[in-house]
A and B are shown apart, each in its own frame.
Chain A
Amino acid sequence: MKRIPEEADEEERKPGPAAAGRAGRILVFLVAWLFALGGSQLRAATASSSVLRALPAGASGESGHYEGGARLRAHLLVDAGRATPDLVRVGVLFDLDPGWHLYWRNSGDTGLPTRVHWRVEGGEAGALRWPAPQSFSEADGLFVTFGYEGRVLLASDVTLAPEFDREHRIAVDIDLLICQRECIPARIELERSLTAALVDSPDNASLSRIFDDFEARVPVAPASLGVELESLYDRSALRPGSTFHAAIGARACTTPGECVPWRIAAEGVVFFPAATFPIRAEPAAALPTRDDPHHSLAGFEAEVSEDWEGADESAATSEPRLRGVLVLQDLSGRRAHVDVDLPLPSIDASAQVTLLGEHWLPGVHEDPAGGVAIHSSPSLLEVILLALLGGLILNLMPCVLPVLAIKVFGIAEMAGRDRSALRRSGGAYALGILISMAVLAGAVLALRAAGGQVGWGFQFQSPLFVSAISIVLVTFALNLFGVFEISFDAGGAARLGEQTTGTRRSFFEGLLAVVLATPCSAPFLGTAVGFAFAGSALTIVLIFLCIGAGLAAPFVLISWVPAWSRFVPRSGAWMLKLRSGLGFALLATVVWLLWIAGGLSGTEGMTTLLALLVAIAFGLWIYGMLQHGERTWLRTSAGIALVLLALVGLDLVRARLATATPPLPGESAEGWAAWSPGQVSAALEEGRPVLVAFSAEWCITCKLNETVVLRDSRVLAELERLNVRVLRADWTQRDETIRAELARHGRAGVPLYLVYDPSSPERPQVLPELLSIGVVVDSIRAAAPPTTRDAAS
């Protein structure tokens, strides 16, 4: 960074008549000289006027700690050494006492932006040129602000109107805030004659040099340095009030074989965002990239303003842009500043932006190959495919197996009978799935609109939902046992045989499949759901429907494609036995739900729910006996009584669950402590690798991973040998900290497994949703310090 020549510096710093006497000689035109402070109008710096006054040095109260003195001098400079007669450079030179600073056009976390407004008689002022700012850590490191200290010149070009026949005058109104351990907001008004300045000093080298020196600090277009910038985001749409991750990439080879030595600076604040609306970006940090010395990256986290309605802060364009200044550095450490003007995701995903791959994190996750993997994916299309595939695989996960079994049974029963009925059944099943997926997406959107933050499987965090779904499953199981028959229309008892496989029943099975599927996650599903939850309303609905389509696909194919029917077993007497057997599968699911209820609200809550289930089973048994009788009124009354019992019972359970005390999360038998960011950093500081398991009691995939992989003796032995700290983030009940941490890693639900290496704590490794012993062992070995690792081999 070039400095103003010391000579000029020295002269201008001297206050009072001595400097005033030299002012003519050094040809620095001084209109307002001191600015000891603008004190008395401590309103926001947009106040229309201000009283400038000097504060007596050493003024203090009885316990005063104020040292007083002038802190800022502002000079209105006119550079007469112009290239064309109609163009003049004008600028305000601010000269601050040591320790004081003023703010950039974006002041950062706090402070006030400096505002400069030119008024020219007989001319027009162009845009203000801001030299690259520096960052300040304020209030004991609580805030990062952007601004200038020492001397800074904010300059503009003025185009003079040649036909203007009177004296050209220039005035400038400046609203600013200067801070040190105290802050002084003020308005400065400076004015002078341009005509006189041009006549008095037609050409002055030292003055021109001041302008040149500061203009050399003004950021330039990246292309002028041979650099190409790109922006990458973890989502395609920004939702007001949300946070997101982004990165700015700089490519130093714009044409193959022709590279420049510029990279994003490795240290300090490397990106200065030009505004805090619509997004407020946290300070960016340089990220390592994989094997490409000509591609550098800076990652940051940002918050979208709650009151953003989608427009850009500048009226010039309807699409929001990411603007600011990026700090580059060459191999010798020399720094340069470039303007950033890149696409930003819009509110409705209409803007074209490049997405970060799953494996990227702002300091999030390092690719095993040693570097941050940057993909231009997943695109919406890829996510749709992932959602379809994830939905399809969901059919094989334990959550959906009971429903799947019932469905197979239903189709087997129908096979070879009525082809059109089979098709209707498949269609109804798909419709049931799609409608319930749409309802689920709607519920997510409604909760989000109400300010709630939810994730995949969130409904299992509600004891009431768990109770309701238990009742549905017990009812269904008793139906399979033949205790009663489900009848959806009043006169339907006569067609009982058909109803076991009827269209309405298939629809209902579709609903049940979705409800039971959500606590399971399948491979590919985490990425798709994470993408959906971070996106717009339309994205959420679309992705949910795609998952539903994947889930429904096998049965639709079986019922619609004749060739697929051969996969279906032939019907026979075995089916009646199977039917009862499947009832037990559903009851086993109820046991799991009771376990969740116990986890959410303790033994009391669980027992209350169990008692209600027994009462309902008893009621259904009675209903079953009356179902085939002659007295319709009795049957109807029994039905109504049952529904009432379920509703009243649910209300009782709700009241009971609300008062019941959930068990305290404590250290589990395996020595897994409860997760908190502090626990992670404490273990990492001790040099221990950390494995964090984000899971929930209702998450079957998590339970599967824990039982089969994490509690495997080989894994446990390796965890102990490598001294790995294992932490469990339990999302059984709603927890905003855990939800936010999941979102930080691009996820909307559990499971999520992270392995932290103490030597690069910023970039944990993300393990797949379905763990394998090999993957876990390899990842913790990679994260362990070399000494421990060597001992292993």
Chain B
Amino acid sequence: MKIMLVDDSRTIRNIQKKILHELGYTETAEAGDGAEAISMFKDVAPDLVLVDWNMPNMDGLTFVKMIRQSDKKTPLIMCTTEAEKNRVVEAIKAGVNNYVVKPFTAETLGEKINQTLTRLGISAPQPVAGS
């Protein structure tokens, strides 16, 4: 399973990668903003996307709206500091499948991903042994 990480913070992408690897999601692709993610999307063909909201060039909400014009299936999870209820509603209306508020723990991120995949009938991988 390939997960695309879209966040302008490389530190956050590295933290997410480490957590995902321990959960058994060993294949990742990275983009630093929405525009880069759009340009990579078809080639990467991710099975799930974690996308930040506030980014330069193209924000995460715009990315979600653009992807949903042609792709209704790929699970999109917003992972952002935007915690207000109206923001969550706005993101869900745009087409995200789930929402993670920063700061997040490894447990929360894992739960949200597994919850999203379960809802869509997709099997989650087994955690990496020893993690």
A and B are partners in one complex rather than unrelated chains: no
Give chain A's interface residues, CB within 8 Å of chain B: none
